[in-house]
Chain A
Amino acid sequence: MSNIRFAKLVIFVNAFVPLVLLLWDVYHHNVGANPQEFAIRTTGMLTLIFLTLTVAITPLRKTFGANSLVKLRRMVGLFAFFYGFLHLTTYIWLDRLFNFASVVQDVARRPFILVGMTAFLLMVPLAITSTNKMVKRLGGKRWALLHRLVYASAIGGVIHFWMLVKSDTRIPLTFAFIVGLLLAHRVFVKYAPTMPAQTNSGLFPKD
């Protein structure tokens, strides 16, 4: 097994650890007084963590010259989508009890739900176009442009979180700070005139 395949396996296993522990705790009635809220909150938090990790990869790659990191990006991004899907599912199931009319009503009336739903929907085209075939089909440039949506999704996720806390904004602020920093790094690298040319892995275009 090549090193990169092994690295992927490590990420794969570790990304499932929180889900396995969550299910284990649910099975053993060990998720606290409000399991519904715990499941929704935990999957939401995991979505934000994986979204943040996804947007961290390019800045880390460029900062440390670790170009092979880009090969891990798809998997990390798909885990963000996976946990986002679980977050949406647990909300529709445990909070709305599969009453889809009330989901629509909630989206229309509650701005934080609308923002969260939008952030999730933005991930859908990214997940669909995540295969090598789709990269070829779209062409690297257009693909890269489309996948900048991940920033909109990450920012939306942070705002969604921010809007629902009552007064202690420290955790959403931390996410906002990190995502902001990573986005600033991308913008800086792109527009700073004195930056040296980056080596290109060949898999994806420079951006």
Chain B
Amino acid sequence: MSEKIKSSEITDKQTYLNRRLFMRAAVMAGTATASTLLYRRLNPPAVKQVEGEKLSESAPVSKEDAIKQGFTVEDAKTPLQSIANYNNFYEFDTSKSGVARAAKGFITRPWAVSVEGLVNKPRVFDLDELLKLQLQERVYRLRCVEGWSMVIPWIGFPLKTLLDKVEPTSKARYVAFQTLLDPKRMPNQATGVLDWPYVEGLRLDEAMHPLTIMATGLYGETLPPQDGAPIRLVVPWKYGFKSIKSVVKISLVSDEPPTTWNIQAAEEYGFYSNVNPNVPHPRWSQATEQRIGEYGKRKTLLFNGYGEQVADLYKGMDLVRDF
């Protein structure tokens, strides 16, 4: 060490140590803040649900009657906040908690649904016209193929009402549905995670069943975008992915139509995809389910508990083979 440095120029030990301590405190605080921000960015908080328009529904039938027909269940309803922040809607985002954010501001007016194919009176229905149909409340269980479930108070009309208007011909045996294809409004359609547009299908007798509805709202208001606005199919005894969202086209056809998840992985997602605790998904069990908002698991019910109403549709069918 050079002796030319005056002792007055040497930083005294205390100052040096204080400075070092200060720097270290800054590093610690800085990295911890960065870690916190990173975590928050990767796990953003839930989106506050914007209020939809009120929908008027017709007077309900007696509760007893509604339960008997499967139009309502006595299970506790899942809160709107959960229904609106836990969605599988790959057109917007593949993360269930990210869909609400990505779908915010999705424009649903004007909107039209074309009903065509093997029908006598093909027609394009404007959304406003469909909203004028007699809307009913249906409190349905929804069972996702992933193993979770909700209870949702939908508002909608039976699909049969719509199909009757176009008069399916005797050749029509299946109904094919299609979601909007517009990567500008549905940003994740720019990726190849699924074959777009999303398509689904039902056998005609399934489509005409009184439990099968086209929903235009939930909890008394128009559908939030993330739940399939402005109009979607709801088939309560099938896994959730069958209930196609944001529908623009319904075609009556003669042969079993292709369906998106079946195209993606045929051995995992069958055309029927009826809820069935005895037929496991190849990668996980379907015997139990996580009801959103509950601790512990529930036993999954055959046909999601709607067996009394729909089992007849599958009489004589092998539900393991035709899963």
Residues of A bordering B, CB below 8 Å? 1, 6, 9-10, 13-14, 17-18, 21, 25, 30, 32-34, 36-38, 42, 97, 106, 109-112, 163-164, 166-168
A33 touches B193 (CB 8 A): no
B283 touches A34 (CB 8 A): no
Select one of B31, B264, B285 contacting A10, CB under 8 A.
B31
Select one of B32, B82, B265, B297 contacting A13, CB under 8 A.
B32
**From B42, which residue of chain A is reached at the shortest CB distance?**
A45
CA distance A109 to B280 in the complex (A): 10
Interfacial chain A residues near B191, Cβ < 8 Å: 168
Q: If the complex has contacts A33-B82, A33-B292, A168-B90, are A18 and B297 also in contact, measured as CB distance less than 8 A?
A: no
Select one of A10, A13, A42, A164 contacting B43, CB under 8 A.
A42
In this complex, which of B39, B82, B285 has the most chain A Cβ atoms within 10 angstroms of its Cβ? B39
In the assembled complex, B67 has its CB within 8 A of some CB on chain A: no
Q: Is the interface of A mostly helix, strand, loop or mixed?
A: helix
CA distance A38 to B46 in the complex (A): 13
In the assembled complex, B36 has its CB within 8 A of some CB on chain A: yes
Number of interface residues of B (CB under 8 A): 38
In the assembled complex, B313 has its CB within 8 A of some CB on chain A: no
- B82 shortest CB reach to chain A, Å: 4
A17 touches B285 (CB 8 A): no
Select one of A21, A32, A37 contacting B46, CB under 8 A.
A32
Q: If the complex has contacts A30-B45, A112-B283, A167-B94, are A21 and B36 also in contact, measured as CB distance less than 8 A?
A: yes
List 8 A-B pairs, Cβ < 8 Å: A1-B24, A18-B39, A32-B46, A33-B85, A33-B96, A33-B292, A34-B86, A110-B285
A164 touches B283 (CB 8 A): yes
Interfacial chain B residues near A33, Cβ < 8 Å: 78, 81-83, 85-86, 96-97, 292-293
Residues of B bordering A, CB below 8 Å? 24, 27-28, 31-32, 35-36, 39-40, 43, 45-46, 78, 81-83, 85-86, 90, 94, 96-97, 146, 148, 191, 193-194, 264-265, 280, 283-285, 290, 292-293, 296-297
Q: If the complex has contacts A106-B285, A110-B284, are A34 and B290 also in contact, measured as CB distance less than 8 A?
A: yes
Interfacial chain A residues near B283, Cβ < 8 Å: 110-112, 163-164
Interfacial chain B residues near A32, Cβ < 8 Å: 46, 85-86, 96-97
**From B29, which residue of chain A is reached at the shortest CB distance?**
A13
- A194 shortest CB reach to chain B, Å: 38
Interfacial chain A residues near B36, Cβ < 8 Å: 17, 21
CA distance A204 to B145 in the complex (A): 50
CA distance A30 to B43 in the complex (A): 10
Interfacial chain B residues near A166, Cβ < 8 Å: 146, 264-265
Interfacial chain B residues near A21, Cβ < 8 Å: 36, 39-40, 43
CA distance A168 to B96 in the complex (A): 12
Q: If the complex has contacts A30-B45, A32-B46, A167-B94, are A10 and B28 also in contact, measured as CB distance less than 8 A?
A: yes
- B44 shortest CB reach to chain A, Å: 10
B90 touches A97 (CB 8 A): no
CA distance A1 to B264 in the complex (A): 57
Q: If the complex has contacts A13-B28, A13-B32, are A167 and B39 also in contact, measured as CB distance less than 8 A?
A: no
Interfacial chain B residues near A38, Cβ < 8 Å: 97
B27 touches A10 (CB 8 A): yes
Interfacial chain B residues near A14, Cβ < 8 Å: 31-32, 35
CA distance A166 to B145 in the complex (A): 10
CA distance A21 to B42 in the complex (A): 12
